[in-house]
Structure formats: C-alpha cells, structure tokens
Structure 1
Amino acid sequence: MRYEDWDVLLFPRDCKIPIKEFKVACHVVHDAEFSHTHGSFGLPTVCCFVPSLAAGAPFQISIHSWYTPPSVSQYAKSYSNFPETVTFEARLFIDGRLVASTVLDRMMTAWPHIIAHSFGLPKNGELDCLKFPSFRREVLQQSFWSPADDMGRIKLVISEGFPRDSLSMPIERVKNVVTFSFQHAPLGEWPQPLTMLVRD
C-alpha cells in the first residue's frame, strides 16, 4: 500500500512476491496517542484486506520511501530548534500488540527497510522471526467495520520524532504520519457480505 511517498508491503518470508491486497482505501481516524497535543488532527490510515498465511508462518514487512530523504511535516520542523535532526520510527502492531519497532534515519537508511524479526527471543538466543497471526474468528461476529480497529489487523505506524540517548526510548515521537492496516482472513471462510467486500 502507498501513502504519499511511503510504500509498505507484506511478504511471506524468503519470497519476492508480496501478498496480494484487496480494496485498498485511505481513511482518517482519531489519533488517540497525540490527541492531547494535536487537538483535532486526524491520522491517515490506509487499509486493505489480505489473504491469511498459515498461523505461525514467518513473514516480513517492507518499508520504502520513494523520496529520499523522506519529507518532514511542518509540525515536526516547528517543534524543535533543530529540525534537521527529525527522524522517523516504524512500529509494527499485531492485534493491537507492539511486536517490533525500528528507527528510520532520514539520511542513512537504505531503502527498502525490512522488518523480519520481533522483540521476542526464543530459547536458542536467536532473533525471533515475525510470525503470521491466527485468524480472529470474532471478526465474523462484528456487525460493523471500522478502519481504527486493532483486532485481526497487522498495522505499521510511521511516526516523526527526535533521537534520544535511551535504549528504551530511542526516539521522542511528536507526530504519527500514517498507519498502514492489513486486515487478514482466509477468503473461503468469510461470510457472504464480507466475501463480496474483498472480491475484486
């Protein structure tokens, strides 16, 4: 999916072909993270449906900026006396749970940037790969659809901020730029109304 100069794709691990996307659309949702500072600013959220991989299958996410260095918002530029230090952060959420994050240095990041590992460390000490989530059957019981929902979604949030000398908080976020939301489902299991929704 693409938003302005940002492009984000899901891939099965060790595969060069991205997972097919259905019904891509952009919505503006309430940004609860910065509602106390940004007032009524909304967060662009690009949504799509994707076919589920097998639960636990390794996957990765590709982040690309078609403009180098990525453009910085006027809000971030005016936030500090050192606008040249603005950097970007990408956070990956699965079902609303943060599973990975990375700092995207504007001047040094090589594109595309790949996220293939989660925070978890298995017993052998190696980095744990991203694992595709199980399909949340609760979604079938919902009578409405919202672009802001977390359940059954793989979400990547790109934010602007300033670097900090902290391992626990390497960037001080000041603005969320965009959210990419992938809602996954085994297409054969959708009830008829939702099957029609994701059909080309």
Structure 2
Amino acid sequence: MRFRNWDVLLFPQSSHIPLQEFRTACYLQQDLNHMERCTTPILTSFVPSLSHGTPFRVSVHSWTKPEAIVNTSPYCISPDTKFSWCIRVWADGTMLSMEIYPEDSFFPKQIGKYNDTQGRWLIGIDGPSMTFPVFHKEILHQPNWNAADDLGRIKVQVSAGYEVDAGFVTLVDYVIFSFQPVPLGL
C-alpha cells in the first residue's frame, strides 16, 4: 500500500513476492488524546490470508528521504533533540515489533521478527519470526465495518518523535497501514 511517499508491503517470510492487495481505501482516525486533536490517515486493504502461524515480514519504503519533524513549535523541544522514525507492527491489537530509526535513515527497512523479550521492548534484538494471525470468522457477521478495528488486522504504524530513557515519545503518527487478511475460499 502506498501513502504519499511511504509504501508498505506484506510478504510471506520465505517469498520475494508481496501479498496482493484488494480494495485499498484511505480513512481518517481522530486522536482524542493528542493535544491538537489531530487525525491520522489509515490506509486499509484486504490481502489473501496465510495459514495461522505462517511467518511473514513487512517492507517499509520511503521513496524520498523523509523528514521526521518539520514543525516542532508547539512541543517545546530542545534544539539539539535527535528525531527518529518509529515503525510498529501489530496483529490483532498486539504489538509484534517496534523498530526505531534515526531521522536520516535510508529506506527500505525489513521487519520480520518479534522483538519483545520478557515483556520489555528491546530495540534491535531479533526474536522469532512474526507469524500470521488466525482468521476470525466472526468478522464476516459484523453489522458494521470500522477502519480502526484491530481484530483480524495486521497494522504497520509510521510515527515520528524522539527517544528518552523511558522509551519513545511519539509526536506525530504519519500513517497507519492496515491489512485485513481474508481466506480466498470465502
């Protein structure tokens, strides 16, 4: 899926061919917790479901060199703050991976491993391969469809901010790519 100069592809771990996407659309999600009540674009797409437990990876591309923070005036941030990109991968509302890259990083970036060790997110430490979530049949009977739902979705969140001792401080969520896997036999 592509949003502006960002592109995210979903691959079976052992393949160089991305999963085909169907019915891609863009929606806006309002962040009520953000002090400026900003909105985040959510790009949604259906993809063929892989068997539950099949290893997968995502490839995050930026076709131009991105600038993480353009205007920091409302945040009272030190001029020597080092801005970063944070890429989070979620499945069924559970974070599988969180990778932080310096603002001047070059893309693409491949993410295919869990990096949670004993409940603490340790950046740069590879765990086992991320695996495809189970297909939730109850999704077929939901009366309403919501782009922001977590159930049955693989999401890739692109955020900008900076690191502190306590973790990553998100200043802006640029976009969320939301893949909804569906078995092709339905």
Instruction: Show the counterpart of 1:188.
Output: 185
Instruction: Show the counterpart of 2:158.
Output: 158
Give the TM-score taking structure 1 as reference length: 0.81
2:109 corresponds, among 89, 92, 113, to 113
Structure 2 letter corresponding to 1:38: E
The CA deviation at 1:15 is 1.0
The CA deviation at 1:183 is 0.4
Instruction: Show the counterpart of 1:198.
Output: none
Instruction: Show the counterpart of 1:48.
Output: 45
How many percent of aligned residue pairs carry the same amino acid?
Answer: 35
SS at match of 1:188: coil
Q: Which runs of 5+ in 2 are unaligned?
A: 119-125
The CA deviation at 1:87 is 1.2
Instruction: Show the counterpart of 2:28.
Output: 28
SS at match of 2:185: helix
RMSD: 2.0
Instruction: Show the counterpart of 1:61.
Output: 58
Q: Which runs of 5+ in 1 are unaligned?
A: 190-200
SS at match of 2:180: strand
Structure 1 letter corresponding to 2:29: V
Counterparts in 2 of 1:141 and 1:128: CA distance versus 1, 3 Å: same
Structure 1 or 2: larger helix share?
1
The CA deviation at 1:84 is 6.4
The CA deviation at 1:173 is 1.1
Counterparts in 2 of 1:179 and 1:93: CA distance versus 1, 3 Å: same
Alignment coverage as a number of residue pairs: 178
